[in-house]
Structure 1
Amino acid sequence: MQNWKNVLEVALLVSVVVQAACKSTIEPCSNSDSCNALLGYTLYTDLKVSEVASLFQIDPIALLTANAVDISYPDVEHHILPSRLFLKIPISCSCVDGIRKSLATRYKTRPSDTLASIADSVYGGLVSSDQLREANSISDPSVLDVGQSLAIPLPCTCFNGTDNSLPAIYLSYVVRPVDSLAAIAARYFTTLTDLMNVNAMGTPAVNDGDILAVPIPACASNFPKSASDFGLLVPNGSYAITAGHCVQCSCGPRNLNLYCMPASLAVSCSSMQCRGSNLMLGNVTVQQTGGGCNVTSCNYDGIVNGTIVTTLSPSLQPRCPGPQEFPPLIAPPNTVAKDSVSAPAPSPEFDGAGPASPRSSLVPSTGLPGFSPANGPISGISSGASAACSLAKPLPFLTSTLVLLLVRLIIPVAL
């Protein structure tokens, strides 16, 4: 009887160890394709926009547009963002050793750094100290050289850029003590069932530090494979800058049709006029007829060998479209709302305002009714994708030792 009690205690210990090693959802992969993804990141201290961008090795303008921040403000790249501000970080998600992750970020250590402080504070729990140790082959984690360059393995998922067969981009979201799965689902305009299916969860229980893959509806591009921005996805409620800062594309608020227009950032850009017309990129003409509305638009079709490709698209529609609406912009943040510290991560919400006049010629702004909800469960996820706290980097030695101990205790009882 005592032996069985020991068996149960060891089994419980194994469960606790496995749970402690949980971090993020795993998506197995077998090719070198990459996709657009997002990280949910909370600033650990006041940082300039350029410093946050440097932390993840991304373009500062891409960081701002992903969060619908008005980039027309003077010297916006050096604006100081407040501690505890939540940001969506756009990254490229690759296939590394059969698992989706991003290895494009490197970090130079400072005198006060430890693996734990880098993982938990600097990168906001998006990586664990064990993952850092393994990714950088560190034998003694207590010894870090100042200025040492560390690879930062960041979590991400692609799932073919779809959710329920609709375009989607996946946000890696770090669960906080105040979070519940239902609240996270509601905040990102998806369903509890869909969130559980995406993360292959048996129950809606989540733990502090788990990393969820959260699908956000997106506008998908139709660029040819020869385009350097092939596969561009823009999350609903945000913007993306492409073609060497020459083109900006937006998504939403009331549809999932990608809309691209010239951006006023680059010093020189190739022609953005559609051949055979006087229309420029983003221009639309409408003509009411007895049979409907003739609509002609000049659309962006990717950048190929440094040249911006445009396509003239005529169509006959039942009714004429209204003026183009844009996701609402925010000023570069100076403070963090009190409720954002205890509430699920912020995302664009409808504030009841109607369409507004653009505040800048660079990125227009209008009202936003919210993201379209994802309907029903996702399908086609690999059986290798595990629960919300999958073992992205398990503790193999410790777990194996405990299992061996469990076997040694069971055998005498069986005999």
Structure 2
Amino acid sequence: MSNSATDRPKTPDTVWPARGRHIGPDTEDVLRRHLRRLKENGVLEAFTEPPAPEGTPQRVFEARWRVAGDVIVRARLTLVPPQDREDGREWVLMAEAERPWDEQWPSPATMFWPDAADGDDADTAWDHHHSVPGLRFRAVNPLPSEDKAIRRLLRNAAREAWCINLVVHEAMTPDELGRLPLARLLPPSLRHRVVEHRAAPQQLRAVNWAIRELGVWVPRGGAVLLPPDPAPPGYDGPEYSVRDVFLDGSEHTELVDVVRRFAALPKPLPQGADEALTDLRENWTLLTLEEELARERRLVAIYAEALDAMTKSRDLYRDAAEQAHQALAAYRDTPAPAERRHEGAGVPSTSPLQQLTRTFERLRGGAKGLRQTSAPGTARVGAEPGTARDGITPDNARDGDETDATEEAS
């Protein structure tokens, strides 16, 4: 078990999260009947059942009400079939107020699920733990008899940060009044977030052995709050324990104070709560008239900004196109570099490739003439290189040419 907070986002002080499982048939009908009754009694301003995403077995319910006169609370409950169990429906409840949550406000769970004050619907089993079978929120949960089972149950319960786990040791076997859950003494917003574990008088040593790895212990006849995983910053185990808890129906001021301080600690959002909070904020459909007007104004502002950006982009594109056309026209009207050199110098300009081609042509022509001169029948057989043909040597030929030129000059 980790002893420090992870990088998960912190739980906002305006948020009330809860998670559980409903055991029994007609889960959706139970929700609809209760929401309709509270709407008729004026407790809720409105509720709705928005369509669930296609291809998913989820069902979503939204409700809106006011507390402290004018503070609006928005809540969203999602029904999801449990992955490893076929009985019942798992539910996730996320509520958010317009200002920091007050523990004296009504519990959002009672806005969706029937409570003990609702008469015939009081036994509706919606308050089961979502991952640990057998645990309930509104009841006393006796610990198992085996030591290993105690350790496994408390370890699994403490791993979930959706609820507050309170372990109480009975110094002696309580009477009927002492068997009532202590959660009923808590402020309204905390009653449905506490799971109360009860240890029999002979189980004190087994309980402390089971939770020793959590860094806490239960005083004899007392109680302790199990740290969640990860533990919130500033958590000190002994600080959240109570030495004496009298199970005789008397008030428990110290215990209530410890639970309130523990609930007020800054904690990271439980696993999966960030998705539920995002759905509440971004997919909320139950809007008031003022909220609808504000949303339409925001949409108009967004569309205006988008239109302005498109207009600026169009103007920039048009200017760029005009500049491109002007550059293309100027390029077409400008003569080629070879033409400009020809006009300025008055001589044809040839490229290096053309010059190389002409050189090869001259060389090829000279070689052809040499081949014709050396053809058969044009030279005497056995003549030595450099000898004269018909008595004329190259030196005589040059002398004759120079004499003829001198005579012509005379």
Give TM-score scaled by structure 2 length. Answer: 0.26
Give TM-score scaled by structure 1 length. Answer: 0.26
Between Structure 1 and Structure 2, the one with more strand by share is: 1
Between Structure 1 and Structure 2, the one with more helix by share is: 2
